[in-house]
C-alpha cells in the first residue's frame, strides 16, 4: 500500500440511505446493502453523507441507520457517521448520538451556507472533535458548502489527536499533496475520478459513491496498484471512467444516479427525498449501459 496510515480502511463506500416506496427509512434494506458492499470489497462504510441524503434525514433516522448497519457488518468494516451540519451545536449533538449508536468514526463537513472564515472553521472542527471519543475525518467539499478548508487550516487541525483524516473533494490536487507531505492525515479521494491519482501520491484510499454499484471493480484498481501492476491499475481506472462520468458528472447528484442504478439492479435503494427527484428513463438507461460495460468487461 502507498500508506500505512489507514484509520478507516482504504476502500470506503459513501452509502446511499435506502427508503421504502413510501419514503420511510428502510433499515432492513440498509442492512442488506451494507452486507453486500462489505462482501464485495468495501472495507469501510460512510453513512449519512452527501450520497446518503443527510440533509433530508432526521437525527433519529441517522442514529437508527448507524445501529442497523453496525449490526449488519459487525466488526468486518468500520462505520463512519456523517454528522456535519451548518450549526456547530447541532453537529456536536449528532456526533455524540453517533458514538452512542456504535459508529467507529465521524465524517464532518465544513459548515455550509454561512461561509465562516478559516478561524471559525478551525474552531468548529475542534469543538466537534472534542465532543466525543471518535476519530474525525474532515470533509472538504467547497463546491457544495461554499466554504473551503484551506491547507493551512488543515495543517493546524492535524495537531488535534482525534482529527485523523480528510475526505478531499476540493479539486485542488496540489493542496492535497502539500498537506499529505507535512502531516499524518489520511487522505481519501472523495471524487471517484481521483481514486487512483490520489492513491498514487500517498493517499489512503477513497470514499466512493460509485462503489454503491461497483465495489469490486473500484477495489480492483487499488489492489492492482498495491501489487505493483501500475499499468493495469490505470487500465482498470480508465475502464471505470464511463460509469464514474455517468454517475457523477451527468448533471444529476450522485444520490440520484446511485439509487436509479441500484433500483434497476434489484438492490435496496428506493426513492430519493425531495427536493431531489428521481432520474428519468434516458438517464437510467445510460447508467445501466455504463454499468454493464464495466462489470461485463
pLDDT in single tens digits along all 297 residues of the chain: 344 578 999 999 999 999 999 999 999 999 999 999 999 999 999 999 999 999 999 999 999 999 999 999 999 999 999 999 999 999 999 999 999 999 999 999 999 999 999 999 999 999 999 999 999 999 999 999 999 999 999 999 999 999 999 999 999 999 999 999 999 999 999 999 999 999 999 999 999 999 999 999 999 999 999 999 999 999 999 999 999 999 999 899 999 999 999 999 999 999 999 999 999 999 999 999 999 999 998
Based on its alpha-carbon atoms, the radius of gyration of the chain, rounded to whole angstroms, reads 18
Per-residue pLDDT, 297 = 80
H helix intervals, 115-203: 118-130, 142-145, 151-157, 173-182, 195-200
Asked whether residue 6 is assigned to any structural domain, the reply reads no
Backbone angles phi, psi at 108, to 5 degrees: -120, 110
143-152 per-position pLDDT tens digit: 999 999 999 9
The pLDDT score that the predictor gives to residue 168 is 98
Tell the residue number behind the cell numbers 499524518, with chain if given. Answer: 184
Residue 255 inside a domain? The answer is no
- Look at residue 277 and tell me if it is in a domain: no
Is 126 within the bounds of a domain? yes
Q: How many helices (H) and strands (E) does the chain have?
A: 12, 8
Overall size of the chain counted in residues: 297
Is 261 part of a structural domain of the chain?
no
Domain extent for 74: 11-227
For residue range 252-284, list pLDDT tens digits in order.
Answer: 999 999 999 999 999 999 999 999 999 999 999
pLDDT at 241: 98
- Neighbouring-strand partners of residue 80: 46, 105
Burial class (CB within 10 angstroms; exposed 0-12, middle 13-18, buried 19+) of 83: buried
Give the residue from 105, 29, 46 showing the smallest Cα distance to 270: 29
Tell me the torsion sign for CA atoms 256, 262, 265, 271: negative
Grid look-up 456547530 returns: 88
Contact 51, 254 (CB under 8 A): yes
Structural domain count of the chain: 1
Q: What confidence score (pLDDT) does residue 5 get?
A: 75
Residues known to be catalytic: 139, 167
The answer to the question of residue 258 being in a domain is no
**Cβ–Cβ under 8 Å, residues 211 and 42:** yes
Q: What integer pLDDT is reported at residue 1 of this predicted model?
A: 39
C-alpha cell at 113: 451556507
* CA dihedral (162, 33, 206, 119) positive or negative: negative
pLDDT of residue 132: 97
Could you tell me the CATH number of the domain that includes residue 161? Answer: 3.20.20.70
Domain presence at residue 53: yes
In a domain, 134, yes or no: yes
Report the predicted TM-score, pTM, of the whole model to 2 decimal places: 0.96
How many Cβ atoms from other residues are within 10 Å of residue 96's Cβ?
A: 16
The confidence score (pLDDT) of residue 4 equals 53
Amino acid at each position: 500500500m502507498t500508506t500505512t496510515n489507514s484509520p478507516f480502511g482504504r476502500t470506503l463506500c459513501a452509502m446511499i440511505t435506502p427508503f421504502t416506496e413510501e419514503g420511510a427509512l428502510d433499515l432492513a434494506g440498509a442492512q442488506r446493502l451494507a452486507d453486500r458492499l462489505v462482501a464485495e470489497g468495501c472495507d469501510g462504510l460512510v453513512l449519512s453523507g452527501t450520497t446518503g441524503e443527510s440533509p433530508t434525514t432526521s437525527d433519529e433516522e441517522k442514529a437508527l441507520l448507524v445501529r442497523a448497519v453496525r449490526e449488519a457488518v459487525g466488526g468486518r468494516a468500520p462505520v463512519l457517521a456523517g454528522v456535519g451540519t451548518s450549526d456547530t451545536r447541532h453537529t456536536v449533538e449528532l456526533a455524540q448520538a453517533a458514538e452512542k449508536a456504535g459508529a467507529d468514526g465521524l465524517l464532518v463537513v465544513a459548515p455550509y451556507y454561512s461561509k465562516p472564515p478559516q478561524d471559525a472553521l478551525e474552531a468548529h472542527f475542534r469543538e466537534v472533535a472534542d465532543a466525543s471519543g471518535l476519530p474525525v475525518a474532515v470533509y472538504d467539499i467547497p463546491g457544495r458548502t461554499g466554504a473551503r478548508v484551506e491547507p493551512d487550516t488543515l495543517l493546524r487541525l492535524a495537531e488535534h489527536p482525534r482529527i485523523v483524516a480528510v475526505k478531499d473533494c476540493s479539486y485542488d490536487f496540489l493542496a492535497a499533496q502539500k498537506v499529505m507531505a507535512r502531516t499524518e492525515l489520511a487522505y481519501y479521494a472523495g471524487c471517484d475520478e481521483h481514486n487512483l491519482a490520489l492513491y498514487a501520491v500517498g493517499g489512503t484510499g477513497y470514499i466512493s459513491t460509485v462503489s454503491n454499484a461497483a465495489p469490486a471493480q473500484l477495489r480492483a484498481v487499488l489492489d492492482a496498484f498495491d501489487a505493483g501492476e501500475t499499468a493495469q491499475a490505470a487500465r482498470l481506472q480508465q475502464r471505470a471512467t464511463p460509469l464514474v462520468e455517468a454517475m457523477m458528472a451527468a448533471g444529476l447528484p450522485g444520490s440520484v444516479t446511485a439509487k436509479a442504478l441500484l433500483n434497476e439492479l434489484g438492490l435496496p435503494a428506493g426513492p430519493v427525498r425531495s427536493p431531489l427527484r428521481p432520474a428519468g428513463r434516458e438517464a437510467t438507461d445510460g447508467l445501466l449501459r455504463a454499468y454493464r460495460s464495466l462489470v461485463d468487461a
